[in-house]
Structure 1
Amino acid sequence: MKIDPRHLEILAAIVDHGGLTEGAEALGKSQPSISRTVSQLESRIGAPLFHPGRRPLKPTDLGMSLAVLGRAVREATRTAGQEVDRFRTGHTGFVRVGGTPVFMDGVIAALIARFQQHMPDVLVEQSYGYADALIERLRNGTLDLAIVPLQQGQVPDDLRFQPILSGQNVIACRTGHPLLRKKSVTLPDISQYAWIAPPTDSPLYRDLQRALARIGAKDFRINFSGGSLASVVSVLAGSDNLTVLPYSVVFEMKAQNQISALPLEIGHPDRMLGVLSNEAAIRNPAADRFKAFVVSQFENLSKRISQHRQDQLWR
C-alpha cells in the first residue's frame, strides 16, 4: 500500500501538538482540511488512527506508529531543504579549478586550504594546464574555473576574465645566497651562477629568456630544467642556482625560509593573472563562492606585496 508522505507529516503534527486545531495551526493549514486528510488516510488504510470520543485526541497504536514515520518524513524534508539551501549558497558542492603549475602549487593550493577551513563540505578538484588547454576545458564543461596569466588580447570573447594580479617576476635564489649579501648586484655578479629553467612550454620559460636579455646576460648556463615547483624550489634551496619566478609565489613561500628574491628589477611580463570562467555554463554556486574567495584573497595579497616592495630597495 502506498501512502502519501505528506499525510504522515500531518498525522505527526496532530499527535505532537495534541489536536486537530493545534496541528493545523502548526502547519499553517485550516482545521477542516486537516480533518479531511485524517479521514482520507483512515479510509485508505481501513482502520482508525485516533480513539473515537476521546478529548484530547489519543492516537491508536497504528496512529502512533504512523506518526513516528511522519516525524521521520518531516525531518527528512527539513534536512533536504537545508541541503538545497547550502548548495544554492555554495556551502556544499564540487569545484573543478585548473591553472598553470607554478601558480597552482605556489599560491592557489594554500588558498584552497584556507577556503575549506570555512567551506569544509565543498570538494575542490585541482588540475594543471596552460591557457589553450584550460580554455578548451572551460568550453567543454570539464572545468569550472581557470586561474591563468593572460595578455589582454588573449582573452576569448566567449569567456569572462577577471584580473586578480599584475604580472611581476623576480630573480629567485636560496635564502643565504651570496648575492643577497651584496649592496649592489651587477651583471658580472650574476653571470657566474647557473640557472634553473622552467618547462619550455610554460610562459615562465619565455619570461626567463626576456629577463636575461633585459639584464644583458647573453651567455648563461642552465643546469636544471623542467620539473614541478617543488623540485625547482628543492634544487634552488640546495644550491647557488638562480631562476625566474612570479613574485607572488616567492612572497607566499617566504615563511618557509628557503628562497628569496634578489633586489634587482628585471621587468615585468605584459599580462595579468586572472580567473577565467564560462558564463554560459550551468551555474555552480560553489564555484561562484570559491571564485569570490580567490578574488578577495588576491586583493589582500596584492596589497601586501605592494607594501613589501615599498619596504625593499629595488634597482
Structure 2
Amino acid sequence: MKLSAEHLEILAVIVDKGGLTEGSEALGKSQPSVSRSMALLEQRVGMPLFEPGRRPLRPTELGLSLAKAGARIRAAGIEAGQMVRRFQQGQAGRLRVGGTPVFMDGVVSGIIADFQSRNADVQIEQVYGYLDALATSLRNGTLDLAILPLHPTQVPREMTFTPLLAGHNVIACRAGHPLTRRKGLTMADIEDFSWIAPPSDSPLYRDLQRALRSIGRDDFQVSFSGGTLSSILAVLSASDALTVLPYSVAFLAGRTTPLEILPVRIEHPDRQLGILTAAEGREARTLKAFAGFVGDELHRLQNRMDHERQVRRRG
C-alpha cells in the first residue's frame, strides 16, 4: 500500500503540536484542508488515526506509528532542502584544484583548510603541476581551476587568468644564521654559502638563477635540490645553506619554521600569482565561491606582507 508522503508529514506535525488547530498553524494551512488530508489518509489505511471523542487529540497506535514515519519523511525533506541551498550558495560540491607545488604547499593549502572549515560539505581534490600540465587538465575538464604564477604573455589564449598576488622573491636562511648578524651584506659575505634549489623544471629554479645573476653570481654551489617545500624548509632550518623563496611562502612559513629573510635586494619575477580557468569551464557556484574566497585571502595576505615590509624598513 502506497501512502501519500504529504499526508504522513501533516499527521506528524498534528501529533507533534497536539491538535488540528496547532498543526494547521505550524504548517501554514487552513484547518479544513488539514482535516480533509487526515480523512483521506484514514480512508486509505481503513483504520482510525485518532481515538474518537478524545480531546485533546490522541493518536491511535497506528496513528502514532505513521506519525513517526511522517516525521522521518519531513526531516529528510528539510535536509534535502538545506542541501540544495548549500549547493546554490556554493557551500557544497566537489572541486578539482591544481597548482605549482611551492605555492600550493606554502600558501594555498592553508586557504583551502580555512575554506573547508567554513564549508565542510565541499570536497576538494588537489593536484600539483606547472603551466603546461595544468592547462591541459583545464582543457580536458579534469581540473576546475589552477592557482599559479603567470606573466600576462603566458596565459593561454582560450583561458582566463585573474592576477591576485604580485611576484616578490627573497633570500631566506635559518634563524641565527651567521649572515643575520652582519650589517651591510656584500657579495663577499654570501659567496661562501651553498644553496638549496627547487626542482630544476620549476619556474622558481629559474627565478633562483636570475636572482643570483642580479647580485653578480653567475654560478653557485647547490647542496640540496629537487625536494618538496617541507624538505627544503627542513634542510634550510638545519644548515647554513641559503635559498630563494616567494616572499609570501617565506612569510607564512616563518610562523612554524625558524627562518629569516636576508636584507639583500634581488630581481623579482615579472609574474603574479593568480587563478587560471578555462574560458568555457564550469560555472558552478562552488567554484565561484572558492575563487572569491582565495582572492579575498590573498588580498589580506598582501596587506599583511606590506605592513611587515614597512615595519622592517622602520627597524
Q: What TM-score, normalized by structure 1, do the two folds share?
A: 0.89
Cα deviations across residues 267-296 of structure 1 (Å, max 9, x unaligned)? Answer: 111110012234644444444333222222
* C-alpha RMSD over aligned residues: 2.4
CA distance 1:218–1:17, shift in 2 (3 Å): closer
How many Å apart are 1:152 and its aligned residue?
0.8
CA shift, 1:80, in A, is: 2.0
Q: Deviations over 1:203-250 (max 9, x none)?
A: 011111111222221232223221111111222222222221111111
Matched with 1:194 is 194
Q: Is the 8 A contact 1:149 1:274 kept in 2?
A: yes
- State the Cα distance separating 1:150 from its structure 2 match: 0.6
- Give 1:165 deviation, angstroms: 0.6
**8 Å CA contact 2:170, 2:266 repeated in 1:** yes
Q: Distance in 2 between matches of 1:229 and 1:60?
A: 67
1:15-62 CA distance string (max 9 Å, x none): 334444543333223344333323332232222323455555443332
What are structure 1's unaligned runs of at least 5 residues?
none
Name whichever of 6-15 and 282-291 sits farther off: 282-291
- 2:312 is matched with 312
Aligned to 2:302: 302
DSSP 3-state at the match of 2:270 = coil
Contact 2:103-2:249 at 8 Å conserved across structures: yes
The alpha-carbon distance between structure 1 residues 187 and 38, as it changes in their structure 2 partners (threshold 3 A), is: same
Tell whether the 8 Å contact from 2:237 to 2:257 is kept in structure 1 after alignment.
Answer: no
Aligned match of 1:98: 98
- Residue range with higher mean Cα deviation, 18-27 or 217-226: 18-27
Q: What CA distance in whole angstroms lies between the structure 2 residues aligned with 1:99 and 1:282?
A: 18
Residues of 2 paired with 1:63 and 1:14: CA distance? Answer: 11
Mapped contact 2:93–2:123 kept (Cα < 8 A):
yes
Per the alignment, residue 127 of structure 1 pairs with 127
- Cα distance in 1 for partners of 2:241, 2:235 equals 8
Query: Does 198-207 or 76-85 show the bigger shift?
Result: 76-85
Give the alignment of 1:8-87 within 5 angstroms.
8-52=8-52, 56-87=56-87
User: Hey, what does 1:236 align to over in structure 2?
Assistant: 236
| Amino acid in the other structure paired with 2:302 | S
> Which residue pairs with 1:248 in the alignment?
248
Alignment of 1:207-286 (within 5 A): 207-278=207-278, 280-286=280-286
CA separation of 1:28/1:279 partners in 2, compared to 1, >3 Å: closer, same or farther? Answer: farther
Does 2:13 correspond to 1:4?
no
Distance 1:58 1:197, change over 3 A: closer
CA contact (8 A) 2:233 2:257 kept: no
Contact kept in structure 1, 2:196 and 2:243, CA below 8 Å: yes
The 8 Å contact of residues 107 and 252 in structure 1, kept in 2 or not, is answered as yes
Q: Secondary structure at the match of 2:255?
A: helix
Paired residue type of 1:101? P
Give yes or no for contact 1:263–1:312 (8 Å, CA) kept in 2: no
Deviation digits for residues 125-180 of structure 1, max 9, x if unmatched? Answer: 32211112122222333223311001112223443322111000112222222222
When structure 1 is superposed on structure 2, of 141-150 and 29-38 the one drifting more is 29-38
Q: Which residue of 1 aligns with 2:107?
A: 107
Give the aligned residue type for 2:95.
V
Instruction: Give distance in 2, aligned partners of 1:47 and 1:38.
Output: 11
- The letter of the residue matching 1:180 is T
Instruction: Using the aligned pairs only, state the percent identity.
Output: 56
Match of 2:162 in 1: 162
* CA gap 1:185/1:59 in 2 versus in 1, 3 angstroms: same
Unaligned runs of 5+ in 2: none
Distance (Å, rounded) in 1 between the aligned partners of 2:26 and 2:61: 23
Q: In 1, distance between residues paired with 2:312 and 2:228?
A: 29
Check whether the contact 1:263–1:313 (CA below 8 A) recurs between aligned residues: no
